[in-house]
């Protein structure tokens, strides 16, 4: 069996450009159980020239077509094809989780289909699913590293099913990504083609793994199935999936595997610190939140409350990234936050967005969205070049251009990796960004992120249509306009970000060093209204809105210097620069006469340079615009600082987030 329509970048570009944003589908199925509801990304459309609108366009036109072509080129599809006629001659190659790159790319492409209907893309996905389905064994097992060659499976897979699932085989990890991809595909197309495949594999796992007689008691070596199975329950209403997710969580720490690396050193409800592999950890905590929301198990919530505090107060980079150590791709000890050797895997940053969104949905506090925003604008999007075609696996905060921080020996963004988890994770994450802009509870509508674009939001009083006009993050002015109001009163809740209230991160791991006071103002139809946020961090405007009503938020957005807690050894005597949600850095290309590692930042006057052009010489040399910050010292020498996410588009070289004081 062959892929029917080989992926042609040019034709897809043409189709994507011609497509319009029209079809809207709401999420199907049961409630997620959370007290607050995310407004699905299908109900929110960002303007194409807005900050994240441009990212979505890059994902649609470049990242996803690139990932599909890499799946072809690197034999990911061939792995499925070889399962049709297994042979002892097939060499086990790649990683035993290579199948997930296919699932994640299908997931991202399905998200695109929900807002940009595209028959060519739909048919291409269909042909991919034909070979995926054909590789499934009769009883539902779907894992190409074994099925293609059961005599000599991949060395990480173990001789028999599940032998190595708690360590290296990733059989349950593959299930998790398969389910996520399948649900997305089902919601985009209404077709159960992928969903049926995923349910069949889930049922195989449920049959063979569990506490009953004849079953094996095993937990995932790499978490994600917990989140995915909870989602499968929400979509299908079939409780066995939720039960299996809960079994995986409740059994963790009670099987043969007990180590910090996989967060199995103790039962999940007894955990208090973030340890071990940072992606596994983040996915586990997000899964605990999902299962807690659906089952009401508050012991999970108490555990993730403790863990979240541990991360944000002790193990959190200024960029919102996590995972200090290359060794084990892992969290370090408290305050262990080296800059040049920071791991900060792109996938771990995505996991932090998942976790913080869920913490908000549980508690309704803006501090979680503050963290989500920090990670999103810095630690996540630094993982992808602005054109969408090159990726970082680790995201360090300092570089000399020589230390090879990628596992493949490179110091620049690459179009793909042997272990391609980060590019394919971005495929599915970037198109979902509009889903983080709004949330709702009853007739309270939360404006969590500031992004130019429109939305239709379901509240308890009916649908409300609204749009935002803003150039955020380049300035702090946001206008929310109600286009179609609900009958009667409702509350619009505006998040007042930590950065304008004088708080860098909750708990004080980082703090502002310049003593500046920034303020904000809120007005309704031009008349100023009280702007003190409530205990939840939001300004609440309750009224009967009419069509055309304008709520305006002005936030002072000025360059601010930041210091870290003295306990962070690597940031001692150093200072960083932020403006609004963006962390800034000094890079060689803008500062040819400086050594950015040695030049002090303190005692400078800051001024903004709007429309500062950065030439993307790593790609086609076209340029993109940012607001840079010029830092003038008394001797007339100016440093130019650019947003952290924008670094390394002009080749490897020196970069520093934490400059000398
Ligand atoms: Zn990754």
Ligand 1 centre to CA of 78 (Å) is 22
* Structure confidence by residue, pLDDT tens digits, 72-109: 999 999 999 999 999 999 987 899 999 999 999 999 99
Give ion ligand 1 contacts, CB < 5 A: 345, 347, 421-422
* CA–CA gap between residue 18 and residue 9 (Å, rounded): 14
Ligand 1 centre to CA of 359 (Å) is 22
Ligand 1 centre to CA of 381 (Å) is 13
Ligand 1 centre to CA of 462 (Å) is 40
Signed CA dihedral, 473, 503, 321, 107: sign only: negative
CB contact at 8 A, 275 and 260: yes
Angle at 645 between CA 52 and CA 637, to 5 degrees: 130
33-44: burial string, b at 16+ Cβ within 10 Å, e else: bbebbbbbbbbb
Ligand 1 centre to CA of 564 (Å) is 27
Instruction: Report the residue count for the chain.
Output: 661
Ligand 1 centre to CA of 83 (Å) is 26
CB contact at 8 A, 588 and 599: no
Ligand 1 centre to CA of 413 (Å) is 13
Below-70 pLDDT ranges, the chain: 1-29
On the CB side of 505, CA atoms within 13 Å amount to 29
Ligand 1 centre to CA of 346 (Å) is 6
Q: Residue 20's pLDDT is what?
A: 33
Ligand 1 centre to CA of 348 (Å) is 7
* Residue closest to 361 by CA, chosen among 133, 117, 31: 31
Ligand 1 centre to CA of 440 (Å) is 31
* Residue closest to 154 by CA, chosen among 98, 208, 202: 98
What is the pairing mode between strands 510-512 and 453-459? unpaired
Residues pairing with 511 in the sheet: 563
Ligand 1 centre to CA of 299 (Å) is 29
Ligand 1 centre to CA of 47 (Å) is 28
323's torsion region: left (phi>0), alpha (psi -120 to 50) or beta? Answer: left
Q: Residue 93's pLDDT is what?
A: 82
Ligand 1 centre to CA of 85 (Å) is 31
Ligand 1 centre to CA of 393 (Å) is 6
Ligand 1 centre to CA of 208 (Å) is 29
Query: In sequence order, which residues have a C-beta less than 8 Å from that of residue 400 and are 6 or more positions away?
Result: 340, 597, 654
Ligand 1 centre to CA of 522 (Å) is 40
* Structure confidence by residue, pLDDT tens digits, 376-410: 999 999 999 999 999 999 999 999 999 999 988 99
45 alpha-carbon distance from chain centroid: 18
At residue 226, φ and ψ (nearest 5 deg) are -60, -50
CB contact at 8 A, 476 and 580: yes
Ligand 1 centre to CA of 422 (Å) is 4
Ligand 1 centre to CA of 161 (Å) is 25
This prediction's pTM: 0.95
* Residue closest to 284 by CA, chosen among 178, 185, 369, 358: 358
Ligand 1 centre to CA of 333 (Å) is 21
Q: Residue 14's pLDDT is what?
A: 36
What is the pairing mode between strands 654-656 and 510-512? unpaired
Ligand 1 centre to CA of 39 (Å) is 27
Ligand 1 centre to CA of 417 (Å) is 10
In the 8-state DSSP scheme, what is residue 486? P
Ligand 1 centre to CA of 426 (Å) is 9
Ligand 1 centre to CA of 12 (Å) is 26
């Amino acid at each position: 069996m062959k892929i029917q329509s080989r992926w042609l970048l040019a034709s897809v570009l043409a189709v994507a450009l011609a497509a319009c944003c029209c079809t809207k589908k709401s999420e199907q199925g049961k409630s997620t159980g959370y007290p607050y509801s995310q407004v699905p990304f299908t109900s929110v459309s960002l303007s194409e020239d807005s900050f994240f609108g441009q990212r979505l366009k890059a994902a649609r036109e470049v990242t996803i077509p690139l990932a599909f072509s890499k799946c072809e080129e690197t034999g990911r599809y061939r792995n499925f094809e070889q399962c049709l006629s297994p042979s002892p001659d097939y060499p086990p190659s790649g990683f035993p989780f290579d199948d997930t790159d296919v699932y994640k790319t299908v997931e991202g492409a399905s998200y695109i289909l929900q807002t940009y209907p595209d028959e060519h893309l739909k048919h291409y996905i269909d042909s991919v699913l034909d070979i995926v389905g054909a590789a499934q064994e009769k009883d539902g097992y779907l894992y190409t590293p074994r099925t293609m060659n059961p005599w000599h499976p991949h060395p990480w897979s173990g001789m028999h099913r599940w032998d190595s699932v708690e360590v290296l085989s990733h059989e349950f990890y593959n299930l998790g990504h398969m389910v996520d991809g399948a649900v997305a595909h089902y919601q985009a197309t209404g077709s159960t083609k992928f969903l049926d495949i995923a349910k069949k594999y889930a049922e195989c796992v449920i049959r063979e793994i569990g506490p009953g007689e004849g079953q094996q008691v095993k937990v995932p070596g790499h978490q994600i199935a917990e989140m995915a199975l909870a989602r499968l329950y929400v979509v299908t209403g079939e409780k066995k999936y939720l039960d299996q997710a809960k079994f995986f969580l409740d059994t963790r720490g009670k099987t043969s595997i007990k180590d910090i690396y996989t967060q199995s050193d103790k039962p999940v409800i007894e955990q208090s610190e973030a340890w071990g592999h940072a992606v596994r950890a983040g996915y586990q905590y997000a899964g605990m939140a999902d299962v807690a929301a659906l089952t009401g198990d508050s012991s999970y919530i108490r555990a993730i409350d403790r863990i979240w505090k541990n991360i944000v107060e002790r193990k959190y980079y200024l960029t919102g990234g996590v995972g200090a150590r290359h060794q084990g791709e892992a969290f370090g000890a408290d305050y262990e936050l080296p800059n040049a050797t920071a791991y900060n895997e792109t996938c771990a940053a995505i996991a932090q967005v998942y976790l913080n969104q869920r913490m908000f949905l549980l508690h309704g506090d803006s501090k979680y969205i503050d963290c989500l925003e920090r990670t999103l604008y810095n630690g996540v999007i630094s993982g992808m070049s602005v054109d969408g075609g090159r990726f970082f696996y680790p995201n360090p905060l300092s570089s000399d251009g020589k230390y090879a921080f990628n596992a493949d020996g490179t110091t620049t963004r690459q179009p793909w990796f042997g272990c391609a988890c980060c590019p394919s994770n971005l495929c599915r994450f970037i198109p979902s960004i509009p889903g983080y802009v709004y949330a709702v509870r009853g007739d309270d509508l939360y404006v969590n992120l500031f992004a130019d674009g429109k939305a239709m939001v379901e509240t308890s009083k009916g649908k409300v249509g609204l749009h935002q006009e803003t150039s955020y993050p380049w300035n702090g002015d946001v206008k929310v306009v109600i286009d179609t109001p609900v009958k009667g009163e409702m509350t619009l809740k505006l998040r007042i970000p930590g950065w304008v209230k004088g708080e860098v991160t909750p708990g004080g791991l980082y703090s502002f060093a310049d003593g500046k006071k920034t303020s904000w103002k809120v007005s309704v139809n031009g008349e100023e209204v009280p702007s003190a946020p409530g205990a939840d961090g939001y300004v609440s405007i309750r009224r009967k809105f009419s069509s055309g009503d304008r709520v305006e938020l002005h936030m002072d957005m000025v360059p601010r210097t930041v210091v870290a807690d003295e306990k962070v050894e690597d940031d001692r005597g150093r200072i960083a620069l932020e403006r609004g949600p963006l962390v800034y850095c000094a890079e060689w290309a803008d500062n040819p006469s400086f050594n950015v590692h040695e030049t002090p930042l303190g005692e400078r006057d800051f001024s903004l340079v709007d429309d500062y052009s950065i030439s993307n010489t790593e790609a086609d040399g076209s340029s993109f615009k940012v607001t840079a910050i010029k830092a003038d010292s008394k001797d007339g020498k100016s440093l130019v600082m650019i947003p952290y996410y924008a670094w390394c588009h002009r080749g490897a070289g020196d970069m520093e987030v934490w400059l000398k004081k």
